[in-house]
Amino acid sequence: MGTRQEVRLRLAHLYADVMNVYGDQGNASALRYRCEARGITLEIASISIGETFDPRDYDLLIVGGGEDREQRRIADDLTKRGGAIRSAIAAGLPALAVCGGFQLFGNSYVGSDGKALPGIGVFRMETIHPGNKTKRSIGNVLLQTEFGEVVGFENHGASTWLDNREERFGTVVVGRGNNGEDGSEGARVANAIGTYLHGSLLPKNPSITDFLLERALSRRFGEGVTLEPLDQHHEESARKEASRITRRRKGLRQHLPGLLRR
């Protein structure tokens, strides 16, 4: 896409002051960086609890992760916005919901205290935290997705179960993903992605960043918009190194029990 004519996009960062564990602000930074490298202005609006928000005014939407305490803080406010967000995403608004935000974009979330929080139903799924004595899903993750190989980091105690009709974001190669049983990770609806992978997701996986940006540009300026390719040597190097380390650690875990028995 040419840069002679000024191009602007608007990003709504929901609850950036509350939902920001494990570097989830990095996703907004990655979107801004890859816009600026192409001469595109990305205006980022941080939308907090109780502030005026109409998703139709924006080209992109992101929300980060938080623990149960933070999810309880935003749940009522998010529920009030739920209908508008669902409608905007159904109409093609690109969105990224991470971990705690991903859970509340589902149908419901039962926290570690056994109390249920309502979700807004963007993704058809249920999430249950079995309690703090249960082993957490934590560590580096490797996925196969339509964007190619994706690397990231998960840290969650709950398990998410997708409706049979719901599309997964990726299939787990290394890690636990949604529940550690069915091989699914995250969810996809239209141009919206939900995932347990935290703030390193977009900086290390530029193909996903560009997917969100391209969809945003196409909605604003018409189908057929393509992004100018960028030199992404550093991003690809980081992704490949993360992949190498993750695969190596998987191999060590597989061989360690045998070594200990010798």
- Active site members: 99, 198
Residue burial 164-198, b: 16+ Cβ < 10 Å; e: rest: eebebbbebbbbbbbbeeebbbbbbbbbbbbbbbb
| Residue 79 CB neighbour total at 10 angstroms | 15
Structural tokens at position 4 = 């002679």
Give the separation between CA 254 and CA 210, rounded to whole angstroms: 35
Give the separation between CA 216 and CA 10, rounded to whole angstroms: 9
Residue burial 202-222, b: 16+ Cβ < 10 Å; e: rest: bbbbbbbbbbbbbbbbbbeee
Minimal CA–CA distance to 52: which of 77, 75, 76, 72? 77
- DSSP-assigned beta bridge partners for residue 172: 143
Name the strand (E) or helix (H) holding 249: helix 233-261
In three-state form (DSSP H/G/I as H, E/B as E, the rest C), the secondary structure along 79-94 is: HHHHHHHHHHHHCCCC
Name the strand (E) or helix (H) holding 26: helix 25-36
Structural tokens at position 247 = 């695969």
Give the separation between CA 90 and CA 88, rounded to whole angstroms: 5
